[in-house]
Structure 1
Amino acid sequence: MDIKDIQNLIRFVAKAGVSEVKYKNKDFEILIKTPLGGEPVSYVSQPLAYQAPVAQAAPAVAQAAPTAEAAPAADDSNLITIKSPMIGTFYRKPSPDKDVFVNVGDSITSDKVVCVIEAMKLFNQIEAEVSGKIVKILVDDATPVEYDQPLFLVDPS
């Protein structure tokens, strides 16, 4: 099982809404617990050959998360955060030749599509679910996002 297979398995578990999945074969074992289960995702690897790719991939994820979470903490407390409902790739445009869904300063309504997230070759339109004005876009276009990662800051007034 390579890192792409692990990522696809994590995406599937996140979309399925289950709290825990354990996959095991003769030389590899993985245990995935979602927030429903109360604990973070954990990887258990038996053969030495699989430890290097997993160990190299983990720091990249760990480095990306603090920067995304540190930005909202500095902003006003009256702002509402639009968060990612899934793991996938964040896109600001419906397609490369189209305009972006929203820009900073745009007024939005609760049913306005603000971005798409690609997960397992499906493009999921993400609606704002709040009305207000876009204050900040926290994620760059075509970058991976995690479940519950902040995407936009909205001023509801």
Structure 2
Amino acid sequence: MDLKEIQNLIKFVANSGVAEVKLETGDVKITIRTTLEGSTETTYVQQMPAQNMLQQAVAPQQIAPVVSTPVETPAADESSKYITVKSPIIGTFYRKPSPDKPMFVEVGSTIGKGDVLCVIEAMKLFNEIESEVSGKIVKILVDDMSPVEFDQPLFLVDPS
């Protein structure tokens, strides 16, 4: 199966509305999964019988790359007027300073520059994340006590 056939198969699966397709022909296995956002994730695995592995060690064959076809969503245009507050570190996201205290911010809260928005725990240290902009919290993108990655969006802020 060549790359062109795989790309055509991905387009077909994405347009059909099927959640997952697995295809196995000879030494090739392909799994195509579509997510709720409309994007398609493709996993391409080439398996060889034991007798062909010795040949590959002598003369390696070229394996086709993993192909992913993202589909743009109209929601991106809607949120472009908002400022995204992103995580500066990897850790665990907390919306409260401690379990018995109230949340730092809620949707609709008006914030100013320097206000604490949340706490991120990294290596037993609790780091207060302060706002760099003034505005109104439109959306909170992460659940309380969830792990976050570096540069992961946390909040959407309307600066107007």
In the superposition, the TM-score normalised over structure 2's length comes to 0.53
Question: What RMSD, in angstroms, separates the aligned Cα atoms of the two structures?
Answer: 2.1
Identify the residue that residue 109 of structure 2 maps to in structure 1. Answer: 106
Q: CA deviation at 1:73?
A: 2.8
Cross-structure match for 2:76: 73
The structure having more radius of gyration, on CA atoms, is 2
Comparing 127-136 and 73-82, the one that deviates more = 73-82
| CA offsets 1:59-109 (integer angstroms, 9 cap, x no match) | xxxxxxxxxxx8x73633110000000000000000000000000000000
Pairing of 1:20-39 with structure 2 (within 5 A): none
Percentage identity across paired residues of the two chains:
72
- Report the AA paired with residue 127 of structure 2: N
Higher helix share: 1
CA distance in 1 between counterparts of 2:78 and 2:88 reads 22
Runs of 4 or more above 2 Å deviation: 72-76
Aligned pairs (5 A) from 1:65-144 = 73=76, 75-144=78-147
Aligned equivalents of 2:109, 2:146: Cα separation in 1:
22
Determine which structure has greater relative contact order: mean sequence separation of CA pairs < 8 Å that are 6+ residues apart, divided by chain length: 1
- When residues 140 and 76 of structure 1 are mapped into structure 2, their CA distance, relative to the original with a 3 A threshold, is same
Q: Count matched residues.
A: 89
- Mark the runs of 5 or more structure 1 residues left unpaired by the alignment: 1-69
Query: Structure 2 regions of 5+ residues with no counterpart?
Result: 1-72
